[in-house]
Amino acid sequence: MRISKIYAREILDSRSNPTIEVEVETPSGITARAAVPSGASTGKHEAVELRDKDSTRYGGKGVLSAIKSVECVIAPELMGMSVFDQRAIDRAMIALDGTECKSNLGANAMLGTSLAVAKLAAKLLRMPLFRYIGGVDAHILPIPMFNIINGGRHSDSPVAFQEFMIRPVAARSFKEAMRMGVAVFQVLKDELKHRGLSTAVGDEGGFAPAFDSTEDILQTMTVATEKAGFTPGSDVTFALDCAATEYYNGCYDYRLFEGNAGVKLTTAEQVDYIAYLVDKYPIDSIEDPLSEDDWHGWQSLTEKIGNRCQVVGDDLCTTSPKRIYRAIRERSCNAVLIKPNQIGTLTETIEAVRMAQHAALKTIISHRSGETEDTTIAELAVALGTGQIKSGSLTRSERMAKYNQLLRIEEALGEDATMG
């Protein structure tokens, strides 16, 4: 039951960039492994992933330095520790790194190790990971947020907003939620073909055609939802990831993505624009509508629309208990996105979720744009009862792996399974 070996390897993520996979072993030869994703649109307050910066390999994005952290620094420290002592293992790595942003060991090296340990412990106890982490009461399946149209840095589409999602809120089971999402996605594909638009997909699996504007996208989503047989706003709602930090330079400069068609907005104007979209369309979740340090803007928007819409802090909170605490204290958002690689260990991820939940903030477990086949976030969504999950679109196997795992979990739970 004790750690006898830890090793790591360089694998490729869904964008063909290197990432790290960590494997942990017991003296009896039983192993478990975890792969770490990577984001394209990253906030400056996220924990640091270690990259080699060697231009002769993978354009400097290699992770041999992170592998060295695992095998030469982390492994000797953790050798002989019980795989069931997750908090002690994570505390040891945090102390070993010694920085708030995980810049010495790398959040990717630490998270890969942390998750591999948890998966090994669950394997030794012959129980699902969601049950090992969440205990006997883990039974809530998350409402999926299907990314059906990509914009921003996730595509070549000249639209600043990064993700346009649907939420099948009327689904009574995860299986039904999948069916509803697929129905809208397939109708949307036909709509795009009818308009002569591309049906190629972006980094997260959503379509990425050259729409005329944000409202063009939302109107098209409305048509696709209705043609699929659902009522927008009651059966299916919309969610946006505005990724506002990406086009903030003292103001919200949409020209950075939208060229001459874009506008420049002050914080007050951005708040009014987001509120206008929420009023006009069946939007019930807005992620990163303001820049990561525009705290006043976040407060203003949450006060304005928070009673009818999720205002989701991603770049604002970066899965950091410290920043989540400030968001709670200042009422800057009413929901938090949870990305384990933003913080670096399983223990800190759980702490971030519990802090948000105890303050009545909604929580959403999330993938990254550079993903792997690892399904840990699906397990975490059920284990921690987040009630919502972002794992991309209804295409690309690294996205579907998470959704398919949730179908298996729902089947295993049987009548105990409920939707978030």
Active-site residue 339, yes or no? yes
CB atoms within 10 A of CB 332: 26
3-state secondary structure of 39: coil
Task: Indicate the residue type of 313.
Answer: G
Longest dimension (CA), the chain: 64
DSSP H stretches of helix in 11-137: 64-68, 75-78, 86-97, 107-124, 129-134
Which of 133-163 are b and which e, b meaning 16 or more Cβ less than 10 Å from the residue's Cβ?
bbeeebbbbbbbbbbbbbbbbbbebbbbbbb
Q: For residue 215, indicate whether it is catalytic.
A: no
Q: Which of 204, 287, 292, 351 is catalytic?
A: 204
> Two tokens at 95?
């102390």
d(CA 319, CA 316): 9
CA distance 298 to 197: 35
Of the residues 61, 102, 119, 339, only one is catalytic, namely: 339
The whole-angstrom separation of Cα 138 and Cα 315 is 28
In sequence order, which residues have a C-beta less than 8 Å from that of residue 316 and are 6 or more positions away? 43, 288, 290, 292, 295, 298, 323, 327, 332, 333
Beta bridge partners of 25: 5, 31
H or E element, residue 265:
strand 264-265
Of all residues in the chain, what percent are helix, strand and coil, respectively (each to 5)? 45, 20, 40
362: which strand partners? 335
Q: Which residues are catalytic?
A: 204, 339
